[in-house]
């Protein structure tokens, strides 16, 4: 069964070229693998591109409108060596190849769709978390304001190509063991457009577009992550002949932060606590992206404990709310202690019933003595 190429693009049979192009551009932007990571999007993008290619090729579209499938090598008839004689890649095409009837695609338009453009922008963590508006400078092709895309000098118009007589292709006769074969190829004079511009626009040299550097404001949504792309429709390259512009993709690169690291919508940071503060408990002033917050440390907190400040992370791009800030605590053991501090720690150890000797204290001293001597280089 032939594929419904009109249906793939959400169109009815007989849709105009403009409707086909508009439907394809909309679906391709939504399904492009660079912007849509959803499962199946890549395959759907391929189907949409295949349908667009078929419907913008006059010969393939003729086959589709007659009920066939231009990509079906058997013409949908299941095994005939000539396929479908009605012109679906079978006997009709063989006759055209020998006698030159209807094999050409005709002239193509001078106006073609422009390419997409890509630029990268560096942002700080608070800009990606809360969103911002920044500016990017791009160097792309824009519409020539002198000829408004026509490519012709003022007061002049394109003329029919004398090489191909406006057909956009030229034919040559080749001999083979089967007889004469007429081969068609794009006209080298007009580049298959069927027209030439004898008096090109002096500003764009007939291309209908010129290079220009411009500054464009970009609205960065809150919660965007490193590597994500923001699409600006119609800000890419203007096409040849003043064709519709492609899109501009702005790729975000997030600068490393001195304090916080990011994991999706969550933020992480490390806080070092003195041993006494971890043992006794305390309240710290923690500087977050939202301002200073009180961080309560419970008595007896151990190194490696993770405290969570809810809704202090990045906003969720899909959904509502924000991620969390996860604070990783490192308890710092003193590396140098004086005599008085050693006495106090010994006293504390005694009160807690802790044995600080290793059984050889007569020769080597207690644990605290050996730790102190090691740090003092003894």
Chain center to CA of 92: 44
Residue 51 to residue 3: CA distance in whole angstroms: 9
pLDDT tens sequence across 149-163: 999 999 999 999 999
pLDDT digits (tens, 9 = 90+) for 293-303: 999 999 999 99
For the CA atoms of 186, 188, 192, 193, what is the dihedral angle to 10 degrees? -170
Q: CATH number of 261-332: 1.10.150.120, 3.40.640.10, 3.90.1150.10, 2.60.260.20? A: 2.60.260.20
In this predicted structure, what is the pLDDT of residue 38? 78
Q: Which of 121-135, 144-158, 308-322 tops mean pLDDT? A: 121-135
Please enumerate in sequence order all residues whose Cβ is within 8 A of that of 188, keeping only pairs 6 or more positions apart, or say none.
163, 170
pLDDT at position 86 is 35
Q: How far is residue 25's CA from residue 5's CA, in Å, rounded to a whole number?
A: 15
pLDDT of residue 337: 87
Q: What are phi and psi of 223, to 5 degrees?
A: 95, 0
Strands 266-274 and 325-332: parallel
Residue 140: per-residue pLDDT: 93
CATH of domain 111-145+208-255: 2.60.260.20
Q: In this structure, are residues 325 and 313 in contact, taking their beta carbons and an 8 Å threshold? A: yes
| C-alpha distances out from residue 158 to 73, 145, 166, 186, 203, Å | 39, 18, 11, 18, 16
Q: Is 161 annotated as a binding residue?
A: yes
297 forms bridges with which residues in the sheet? Answer: 282
Higher local confidence (pLDDT), 153 or 52: 153
The answer to whether 147 is a known ligand-binding residue is yes
User: In the predicted model, what is the mean pLDDT of residues 219-244?
Assistant: 93
Residue 310 has pLDDT above 50, yes or no: yes
Task: Supply the pLDDT for residue 88.
Answer: 37
Model confidence at 52: pLDDT above 90: no
The answer to whether the annotation marks 269 as part of a ligand binding site is no
Extents of the domains making up the chain: 111-145+208-255, 261-332, 339-375
pLDDT at residue 4 in the model: 87
Query: What is the DSSP secondary-structure string of 176-191?
Result: ETTEEEEEEEE-TTTT
Greater model confidence, 71 or 227: 227
Tokens of 193: 């457009």
The answer to whether 238 and 214 have CB atoms below 8 angstroms apart is no
pLDDT tens sequence across 23-43? 888 887 777 666 677 777 778
Q: Is 111-145+208-255's fold the same as 261-332's?
A: yes
For the chain, the average pLDDT equals: 82
Taking the model in full, what pTM does it have? 0.61
């Amino acid at each position: 069964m032939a594929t419904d190429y009109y249906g793939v693009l959400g169109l009815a049979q007989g849709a105009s070229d403009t409707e086909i192009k508009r439907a394809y551009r909309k679906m391709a932007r939504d399904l492009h693998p660079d912007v849509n990571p959803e499962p199946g999007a890549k395959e759907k993008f391929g189907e949409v591109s295949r349908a667009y290619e078929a419907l913008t090729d006059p010969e393939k579209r003729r086959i589709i409108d007659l009920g066939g499938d231009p990509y079906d090598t058997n013409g949908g008839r299941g095994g005939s060596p000539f396929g479908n004689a009605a012109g679906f890649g079978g006997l009709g095409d063989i006759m055209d190849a020998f006698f030159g009837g209807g094999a050409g695609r005709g002239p193509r338009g001078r106006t073609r769709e422009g390419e997409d453009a890509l630029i990268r922008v560096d942002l700080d963590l608070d800009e990606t978390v809360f969103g911002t508006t920044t500016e990017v400078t791009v160097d792309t092709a824009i519409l020539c304001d002198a000829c408004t895309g026509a490519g012709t000098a003022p007061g002049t118009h394109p003329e029919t190509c004398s090489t191909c007589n406006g057909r956009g292709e030229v034919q040559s006769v080749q001999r083979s063991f089967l007889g004469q074969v007429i081969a068609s190829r794009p006209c080298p004079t007009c580049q298959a457009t069927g027209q030439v511009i004898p008096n090109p626009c002096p500003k764009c040299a007939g291309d209908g577009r010129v290079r220009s550097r411009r500054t464009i404001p970009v609205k960065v949504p809150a919660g965007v992550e490193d590597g994500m792309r923001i699409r600006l429709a119609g800000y890419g390259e203007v096409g040849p002949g003043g064709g519709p512009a492609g899109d501009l993709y702005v790729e975000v690169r997030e600068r490393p932060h001195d304090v916080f690291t990011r994991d999706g919508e969550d933020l992480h940071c490390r806080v070092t606590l003195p041993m006494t503060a971890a043992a006794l408990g305390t309240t710290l002033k923690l500087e977050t992206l939202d301002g200073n917050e009180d961080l309560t440390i419970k008595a007896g907190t151990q190194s490696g404990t993770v405290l969570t400040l809810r809704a202090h992370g990045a906003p969720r791009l899909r959904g509502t709310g924000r991620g969390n800030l996860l604070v990783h605590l490192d308890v710092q053991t003193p590396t140098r202690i004086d005599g008085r501090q050693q006495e106090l720690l010994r006293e504390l150890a005694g009160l807690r019933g802790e044995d600080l000797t290793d059984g050889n204290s007569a020769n080597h001293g207690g644990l605290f003595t050996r730790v102190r001597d090691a740090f003092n280089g003894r």
